[in-house]
Amino acid sequence: MPAEALLSVRDLRVTVSGGRAEAVRGVSFEVAPGEAVGLVGESGSGKTLTCRAVLGALAPGCSVSSGEIEFGGHDLTGASRRQWLGIRGSRIGAVFQDPASYLNPSLPVGDQLAEVLRVKLGLRRRAARERAVELLGAMGLHDPARVHGQYPHELSGGMLQRVLIAVAVSCDPELLIADEATTALDVTVQAEVLELLARLRAERGLSIVCVSHDLAVIAALCDRIVVFYGGEIVESGPAREVLDSPAHPYTEALLRVASAGDWGRRTLEVIPGQPPPAGASLPGCRFAGRCSFAEEACSAAPVPLTAHPGGREVRCLLRQEPVGRDAVGVGAGARGSDL
Amino acid sequence: MSGPESTPVTGSGWTPATAAGPASTSATGRATADGSAATPRTGPAGTPLLAVRGLNVSLGRPAVRILSEVDLTVRAGEILGIVGETGSGKTTLARAVVGLVGPDSGSVEVEGVEISSLRGRALRAHRRTGKVRFVFQDPLRSLDPDHSVGTVVGEGLAVRRVPPAERAARVRAALELVGLDPALAARTPGQISGGQRQRVSIARAIVAEPSLLICDEPVSALDASNRNHILRLLDDLRGRLGAGVVVISHDLSSLAGVADRVAVLYRGRIVEEGPIGEVFDDPRHPYTALLVASAPRVAGAARHSLERLRAAPTDGAIGAVGGCVFAHRCPFATETCAVVPEPVVRGGRAVACHHTGTWPARAAASTPAPDPVPVAVPGRGSALESPLSESPAPESPAPGSVSFRGSAGGPGPAPNLASAPVPDPASGSVPRFVAR
């Protein structure tokens, strides 16, 4: 990992329901300039809360109880409201799942984009409009001048998401957070939006934190994968290596239920059981209850996140030996079993 | 799949007992190899469970044609998948099949009974038989939040005046069949998880032992594990109940795991139909190929390169009136495509494309394009500090014929497509900007 990370999150803990439950439990990861990192996990695993904390936009009742978020050399955990205004939207952009709910339905989308440019960059009305049309065109929207004057209800979901990506990158941010940004889109549109994100990254050196429950989406976009389970990181490492040789049983299970690109008739795999409720206090591994390899020791004491060569980290008692492309995955022998 | 004058084709005689393996799904297609004079294969009941012929549906005012000349057949014990993007008419098709939407013309027969002309008392009587059941997309909105799960599931039985004791027993059995704890019957939909809610929807649909189950996006709100759970459940139920199942889904890979056949819908027309493995492995319609190549996958590459399957973007705003519905997005479209292609049936598969014999070669022609799913991008930091204003998206030659679009205005809204250049997101994949 390069020495100077753009974003570095250290031992982040986020509590929900007014501090009663700890939903993010000591999460640490870094994002280098130009890197795309994918956060993957089931709903409730803490990936979205982590992103919201990085954006300083936690919902009421949620708060960062401890840990550090360092972005571009500044500590964001103690940032004032004014400091956040200079960072959020300007240096960190964000796109979320449901584009329609982030736009004002009674204003043309172009005006909403131009407003950001005027407020954040201080552009004059005419310049902001020109820049907005230019940005919409750069997002791959057909006839940007017409789109500029259209209302959200006149645009399809894919077009709205492109408008929101235009808003997110309008101030030339260093980091873009894409939280389930393609989940609600048709597959053909999803492929186009993923390509747009990849292109923006290549053109502008944008770092991306991509959140999804779909490993296939992460695989398409990201260099590194961070797997969340029950508020903790259970595995992280270079995307291709994690996908080729998952070291944690949960990652392995996620891969088996993912869209395999296999068109044959087959038995669809499932992960039995439910994840622990947010804030549940379990003495040991949080996945142990659903893991077919679990031993007694797994549930006895907290399992540390162990670093392995090649930038990989695994939180599993059964994976203390080095992991890597050549090592045999934990679940490899049990493929097809009902893990 | 074929026009109204010809016989519906497709399909496989399906025996629930031997409900496994792709072989059984394709075995019977050859009987209709030339698309002529074919009699529909009969299922166990003698007639297909569901036969939709030449269905046309319009909605709204002024009326907008949503479905055109749709033909479908579903047999007992068979799962038919329907795929297509937003606005392609999938939901309208499902609603027309259960009689929630009236067709302009065409017929919908369930077990030989024409239901699209039923009105009033007859329609109510048909509904109360519980032969056809519908599973809605969003369980949170289709389950009454004030009623307990038990009441919701048993409502259909209550309407039919099933005595309470029997009703409770059948509700319990239905909940067990979908893998839920019967104790959940006392809870309200708000107190259970999303995956459980979707199962409650399915339990409600199967409590009266329907012969036909229509599921509109039953898994789109669920994560991968729960999605597979529900699809497996449907697969299991068609075996146990011998029911025919129609599943609308956008997750091609999971659907391929359970469905026998698939119909690909685009702007209200079925463009391709056949055994699901064959259709996705070797698509014969450019739209199917585009769908398959767009589906994200963890490993492996698509048969066709995504870039070669895309034409200039129009975001669906252009109407292709009177021609092939896909022509406006098809890189292989020519003047011929101004006429609606008749579905051609060969080897159990139906395809509505004028160029079905030639486009795969054109898609594969010349050098293979980069992998459509770039995984590791080496371009990190390559273009730091290049504001968008200085790097507009490059204009790329749209693959395929542009002349057609210029001349195909016809009676429809004349698109300014021919006035390209437009930035083409298809050309914007990473390798283009990094490697060259």
**Mean of pLDDT values over B50-67:** 90
Distance from A170 to chain B by nearest Cα, in Å?
9
Return the pLDDT at B179. Answer: 83
Cα–Cα–Cα angle for B43, B49, B55, rounded to 5 degrees: 125
Residue contact A32–B290, C-beta within 8 A: no
DSSP helix/strand/coil, A292:
coil
CA B401 remoteness from chain centre: 28
Q: Which residues contact B236 (CB under 8 A, 6 or more apart)?
A: none
pLDDT interval class at B230 (50, 70, 90): confident
Query: Cβ of A32 and B380 within 8 Å?
Result: yes
Residue with tokens 């012929």: B53
Which among B69, B227, B423, B291 has a CA at the least distance from the CA of A134?
B423
Nearest chain B residue (CA) to A195: B429
Residue A176 has pLDDT above 90, yes or no: yes
Q: Do the chains contact at B86 and A138, CB–CB below 8 Å? A: no
Tokens of A327: 């090592």
Contact A268 B231 (CB under 8 A): yes
Closest partner CB to B86 (pick from A43, A186, A191): A186
Residue A319: predicted pLDDT? 78
Say yes or no: A261 contacts chain B, CB-CB below 8 A. yes
Question: Best of A243, A268, A269, A271 to disrupt the B interface by mutation (most B CBs within 10 Å)?
Answer: A268
pLDDT mean across residues, chain B:
73
Model confidence pLDDT, tens digit, residues B75-101: 999 999 999 888 888 989 999 988 888
Instruction: For B108, list phi and psi in degrees, rounded to 5.
Output: -125, 110
Residue B49 has pLDDT above 70, yes or no: yes
Q: In what order do the strands lie in the sheet with A224-229?
A: A92-95, A175-179, A207-212, A36-40, A224-229, A232-238, A312-314, A306-308
Is the separation of the CB atoms in A268 and B257 below 8 Å?
yes
Please calculate the CA angle A50-A55-A58 and round it to the nearest 5 degrees.
65
Q: What is the pLDDT of residues B407-434, one digit of tens each?
A: 433 333 333 333 333 333 343 332 322 2
Residue entry with tokens 């999804």: A212
pLDDT band at A202 (very low <50, low <70, confident <90, very high): very high
Predicted confidence at residue B46, as pLDDT, reads 58
Q: Which residue has the higher pLDDT, A264 or A241?
A: A241
pLDDT per residue as tens digits for the range B353-403: 999 888 888 888 644 444 443 333 333 333 333 333 333 334 444 444 333
When pLDDT is cut at 50, 70 and 90, the band that residue A3 belongs to is low
| Residue of chain A whose Cα is closest to the Cα of B283 | A263
A95-99, A139-143, A263-267: range with lowest mean pLDDT: A263-267
Surface of B (183-222) touching A: CB under 8 A: 193-194
Nearest CA in chain A to B231: A268
Residue B427: list chain A partners with CB under 8 A: none
Which chain A residues are Cβ-neighbours of B429 within 8 angstroms?
Answer: 195, 198-199
In the 3-class helix/strand/coil scheme, how is A86-123 assigned residue by residue? Answer: HHECCCEEEECCCHHHHCCCCCCHHHHHHHHHHHHHCC
Residue B10: is its pLDDT beyond 50? no
| Tokens 């591994």, located at residue | A285
Residues of chain A with Cβ-Cβ distance to B296 below 8 Å are 187, 190-191, 194, 214, 216-217, 219-220, 259
Greater confidence (B46 vs A111) lies with A111
Set of chain A residues whose Cβ sits within 8 Å of the Cβ of B254 = 259, 268
Question: Residues 176-215, chain A: which have Cβ within 8 Å of B?
Answer: 186-192, 194-196, 198-199, 201-205, 213-215
Query: What ipTM was predicted for this assembly?
Result: 0.82
Count of CB atoms situated within 10 Å of the CB of A325: 10
A11 touches chain B (CB under 8 A): no
Instruction: Give contacts of A169 with chain B, Cβ < 8 Å.
Output: 388
Res B115: pLDDT: 86
Chain B CB contacts of A135 below 8 Å: 388
Alpha-carbon gap: A168 to the closest alpha carbon of chain B (Å): 13
Mean pLDDT of chain A: 88
Please tell me the predicted confidence (pLDDT) of residue A198. 93
Give yes or no for residue B301 having a pLDDT over 80.
no
Q: CB-CB: which of A42, A191, A263 is closest to B277?
A: A263
Of B20, B85, B297, the CB nearest to A259: B297
Which residue in chain B is spatially nearest to A41 when comparing CA positions?
B223
Amino acid at B320: A
User: Which of the four pLDDT bands, split at 50, 70 and 90, describes residue B250?
Assistant: confident
d(CA B315, CA B307): 16
Number of alpha carbons in the 13 Å side-chain half-sphere of residue B35: 15
| Sheet of A63-71, strand order | A21-31, A7-16, A63-71, A74-75
Q: What is the pTM of this model?
A: 0.77
**A16-53 pLDDT per residue, tens:** 888 888 999 999 999 999 999 999 988 888 999 999 99
Amino acid, res. B410: G
The pLDDT score that the predictor gives to residue B333 is 86
Q: Residues of chain B with pLDDT > 70: what percent?
A: 69
CB contact under 8 A, A156 and B291: no
